[in-house]
Chain A
Amino acid sequence: MKLTLRVWRQRNADAPGAMSTYDVDGISSDMSFLEMLDVLNEQLILSGEDPVAFDHDCREGICGACSLVINGDAHGPERTTTCQLHMRSFRDGDTIDIEPWRAAAFPVIKDLVVDRSAFDRIIQAGGYVTAPTGSAPEAHATPVPKADADFAFEHAECIGCGACVAACPNGAAMLFTSAKVNHLNVLPQGAPERETRVLDMVAQMDAEGFGGCTLTGECATACPKGIPLVSITGMNKEWLRAARRVAKR
C-alpha cells in the first residue's frame, strides 16, 4: 500500500504546530496503524529528520497508552485502540490525517503526544478503595450479586486512554470519570467512599479544565472499550445522591 499521511508536528508544548505531509510506501495491509507509523519514522530517521512522537506501550489494546485522532475519529475508524487498528481498514492511495487528542486539559507535549496526567489526578481524588492491602482476601468473604459484579466489570474495562475527551466537542471527561465512579460505587468494597468519591472526582474533573456533558454521545461512540453513555447518567445519579447526603451530615 502507498499512503499519504498528514501528521500534526509540534516541536514542544509552547511551539506552534502544523500538519506536515509525508508519503509512505510498502505498507502491508496486515500492519497495525502503529507499525505503519514505525515505517514512517524509520524513513524519517534515515533521511535525518525528527521522527514523529506518539504514545504507545502494550500494543495489545489493553494499556490505554496509544491515542491519535485518525481522519477525525479518536482511535480511527474501527471501534478499538489505535494499536489494534490495522491497515486493512484503509485503501491503497488514501490520504490519512493524524492529529493528537485535542482538549485544554490534555496539552500537547510533542507532535502526537499529549499530557494525560489530569486523568491521574481525577483517579487520585477518589478512584480507589481504602481497603487494607495484603494477600488476596477469601473470594466468598464479601458476596457481590452477579448483576452488580457484571456492572462493575463493564465499567472497570476503561483503560483511561482519553478517547472520550478527544471525541467530545466540549473536551469533557465525564465518561472516564463515570466509568470509575460506577465501577467502585456499586461494589461493597467501594461503599465507604461512595459519596466522597463521586463528589471529589467530579470536583477534580472540573478543576482540571475539562468541559461539561451536553449528551452528544460522541464519547461512547469513540470508546474502544464500549463504556456506554448511560454510564454518565449513572454518575449524575450518584452525584445528586451524594450531594443530598453530604448536605444532611
Chain B
Amino acid sequence: MARTMWDSSVGKKTVMAVSGLIMLAYLVVHMIGNLKIYFGAGEFNHYAHWLRTIGEPFMHYEWTLWLIRIVLVVAVAAHATSAYQLSRRDIKARPSAYVHAKPRASYATRTMRWGGIILGLFVVWHVLDLTTGTVHPGRFEHGHPYQNVVGDFSHWYSNVIYIVAMLALGLHVRHGFWSAAQTLGVGSRTRDRALKTLANVLALLLTAGFIAVPVGVMTGVVS
C-alpha cells in the first residue's frame, strides 16, 4: 500500500494533501493561541507554559509538545519531498512552452510552488527567531514569549518578513485546501461551492489572525 502510494502521481498527491491538512489544522490552533497576546503578558506567557505541560502527569514536561513537533516535521518533510518530486515530473512533462502563451490559472494557483518555498524558508526563520532565539533581533529570553514577540516586531524587517509570509500562506491555503479535497476525492459538484468558500474563509482567517500580532505591536496595542 505504502509503495503503491509513493510510486503513483495520484498517491503522492494524497501524501501532499494529508500532510497539508495536518499542518493546516496545526495553524488554526496556533493562530488562535497567538491571539492571546491581546490579553496581556500574564495570560500569553501562562498559555505558552501550559503548552509544555499538556498531558501531565501522564506525559512528562514537554513530551506532548515534542510529539507535536515530530508530527509537524514529518508532515513538512513529506509535503516538501512530494511537492519537489511532483513538480519535477510536471515540468518534465511540458518541456517546450507555447509561443503564444497566456497566463490562465488564478494567482493563488500559479504561486503554489514559489509560495511553498517562501513558506518553507519562513518556517526556518520563524523557529530560529521565536523558538530558539538564534536570529532574534532583540534580547531573547526563554520562557518570556510575550516580551520576545514584542521585541521581535519592534524591528521593521521582522514585520515585513512575517506579513509577506502570512500573505503567501493565505494564497497557499486558498488553493491548497480546495485541492486537497479534490485529491482525497471528497469534492463533488454539489459540494464545490462550499469547499471553495471554506478554503477562502480559512485563508482569510489565518492570514488576518496571524497578521494581527505584528499589527498589534506596531500600533502599540500590544507593548
Tally of chain A residues near chain B (CB < 8 A): 50
Residues of B within 8 A of A211 (CB): 9, 89-94
Assembled-state Cα–Cα distance A133/B81 (Å): 47
User: A236 and B10 in contact (CB under 8 A), knowing A69-B98, A72-B101?
Assistant: yes
Task: With a 10 A CB-CB cut-off, give which of B90, B179, B189 has the most chain A CB atoms.
Answer: B90
Residues of A within 8 A of B97 (CB): 102
Assess the A8–B99 pair: CB atoms within 8 A. Answer: yes
User: A72 and B102 in contact (CB under 8 A), knowing A211-B94, A234-B185?
Assistant: yes
Interface residues of B in 156-207 (CB under 8 A from A): 175, 178-179, 181-189, 192
Residues of B within 8 A of A193 (CB): none
Interface assignment of B105: CB less than 8 Å from any CB of chain A: yes
Residues of B within 8 A of A216 (CB): 104-105, 109
Assess the B184–A212 pair: CB atoms within 8 A. Answer: no
Interface residues of B in 82-129 (CB under 8 A from A): 86, 89-102, 104-105, 109, 112
Tally of chain B residues near chain A (CB < 8 A): 42
A93: min CB distance to chain B, Å: 17
8 more A-B residue pairs beyond the given contacts A199-B4, A236-B184, with a C-beta to C-beta distance below 8 A: A72-B101, A104-B92, A169-B94, A170-B93, A213-B9, A215-B109, A215-B178, A239-B10
Chain A residues within 8 Å of B, Cβ to Cβ = 6, 8, 19, 69, 71-72, 97, 99, 102-105, 168-172, 199, 202-203, 205-206, 209-218, 221, 228-230, 232-241, 243-244, 246-247
Chain B residues within 8 Å of A, Cβ to Cβ = 1, 4-5, 8-14, 86, 89-102, 104-105, 109, 112, 175, 178-179, 181-189, 192
CB pairs A–B below 8 angstroms (5 shown): A72-B101, A97-B100, A102-B96, A215-B179, A237-B185
